[in-house]
Amino acid sequence: MATKYQHFLVLCLLAFFTLSSARPTHFNLSKVATHWADAVATWYGSPDGFGSDGGSCGYGNSVSQAPFSSMVTGIGPSLYNGGKECGACYDVKCTKHSSCSRKPARVVITDFCPGGPCASDHAHFDLSGTAFGAMAKPGQEKHLRDAGVLQIRFARVACDFSRTNIVFRVDQGSNPNYFATLVEFEEGDGDLAGVSLKEESSDEWLQMVQSWGAVWKIDPGRELHPPFSLRLISRYSQQVLVAKNVIPSGWTPGATYRSIVNYL
């Protein structure tokens, strides 16, 4: 028997094909109706904290800083999709507890919740303490967190990071023959369908593959010649964005390079 979440996915797909056939542009999360579905929510970490140190998506301490600002969540397997949904944004709200504000709070997927109810529930959000409390009426955050487990409603929405430009954090294991980077703060879809790299001396785009979480890598079997441009394809809208020469000559492992581009 189909679950409520499966019915929710069918509705989303129907909306996708309807929109695609009605106009030549791609599916755009910011321009379609919000579809709400049921889920279960818990919280972890400190009551006013950010859950973990970035978890399985690899964002590290940036989850506690703007624009994430601790409004983050670990997610069960049904939505995590092997890390491909890292960076995706959701509105979550609760309505059945006396402390619920009934107003949506926007969170970003930054971690994976693999077992227990996270795996058995059709959709499970393991929120940071900050994000869980954000669903409460003002002054009743602690009372809501004391509930521990909540039935909530959730909806996939476009990300809006206040026009923060996309950031590339070079993986510590990168070297002249191997390059990997974490991609952060994609507005709009929030997650990526593909990343490609181009050397300044070449017109060829080299396809990168997802390494883990929000980290993409390339291992061409030869030395790569910077500076590098990076081309991003968003997952839902298939919009293409190019950060030209964003990784400079003399780049270093562990360094962060901020682009001058973003979606929206």
Average pLDDT score, the chain: 88
Domain boundaries along the sequence of the chain: 24-157, 167-258
Tell which phi-psi region holds residue 176, choosing left (phi > 0), alpha (psi between -120 and 50) or beta.
Answer: alpha
Q: How confident is the model at residue 10 (pLDDT cuts 50, 70, 90)?
A: very low
Cβ(239)–Cβ(260) below 8 Å: no
For residue 20, is pLDDT > 90?
no
The DSSP-derived string for 194-211 is: EEEEEETT-SPPEEPEEE
CATH architecture of the domain with residue range 24-157: Beta Barrel (2.40)
Rounded Cα gap, residues 247 and 257, in angstroms: 7
Structure pTM?
0.85
- Once rounded to an integer, what is the mean pLDDT over residues 245-252? 98
| Least confidently predicted of 40-54, 100-114, 196-210 | 40-54
Banded pLDDT at 199 (limits 50, 70, 90): very high
Report whether CATH 3.60.20.10 matches the domain 167-258. no
* pLDDT, position 75: 95
Percent share of the chain, pLDDT over 90:
78
CB 39 within 8 A of CB 3: no
Do the two domains 24-157 and 167-258 of this chain adopt the same fold?
no
Establish how many alpha carbons lie within 13 A of residue 236's alpha carbon, considering only the half-sphere containing its beta carbon. Answer: 27
* Predicted pLDDT at 47: 86
